[in-house]
Amino acid sequence: MDLLNNMDAITLAQAQQMVDEWIKTIGVRYFSELTNMAILTEEVGELARIMARTYGEQSFKSDDKNNLGEEMADVLWVLICLANQTGVDLTTEFKKTMEKKTNRDKERHQSNEKLK
């Protein structure tokens, strides 16, 4: 995995390639899409637990891990797996989402009194 040698800044396309290489060389094969969707839900739950304890009213239990970045990366990993196995180019889709949000919301948030 040559990409591991230069991970200071990677693109979404490189991340998709890295995950695909890892799955094919170390992970044997992708889990089914449904299994990965369930895993994504589980990972988002783990992220939510840390967010609730860090920024909400809940306190950490003695055995809780507090690694926000690790949980976010776990969510990203499984999302990339799902993108790869369903043929989604995350770079293209992210660009489309940025354009959609910019066009739709360019004045909406600026005029929202709740955000001032």
pLDDT higher than threshold 60 for residue 93: yes
Q: Which residue has the tokens 């690694």?
A: 67
Q: Which residue has the tokens 């929202």?
A: 112
Q: Name the band, by pLDDT with cuts 50, 70 and 90, for residue 106.
A: confident
Backbone angles phi, psi at 75, to 5 degrees: -60, -45
Spatial contact of 60 and 53, defined as CB atoms under 8 Å apart: yes
pLDDT digits (tens, 9 = 90+) for 95-104: 999 999 999 9
pLDDT digits (tens, 9 = 90+) for 64-90: 778 999 999 999 999 999 999 999 999
**pLDDT value for 68:** 94
Q: Which CATH number fits domain 13-90: 2.60.40.420, 1.10.287.1080, 1.10.3720.10, 1.10.20.10?
A: 1.10.287.1080
- 56 vs 6, residue with greater confidence: 56
Could you tell me the residue ranges of all domains in the chain? 13-90
**pLDDT value for 4:** 60
Cβ-based neighbours of 25, under 8 Å, separated by 6 or more: 1
Spatial contact of 30 and 81, defined as CB atoms under 8 Å apart: yes
Token pair for 75: 């969510």
Burial class for 76, CB neighbours closer than 10 Å (0-12, 13-18, 19+): middle
Q: Which residue has the tokens 């507090």?
A: 66
Token pair for 40: 């994504």
pLDDT digits (tens, 9 = 90+) for 26-56: 999 999 999 999 999 999 999 999 999 999 9
pLDDT higher than threshold 80 for residue 6: no
Question: H helices of the chain, where?
Answer: 12-25, 33-55, 68-86, 90-105
Quote the pTM value: 0.86
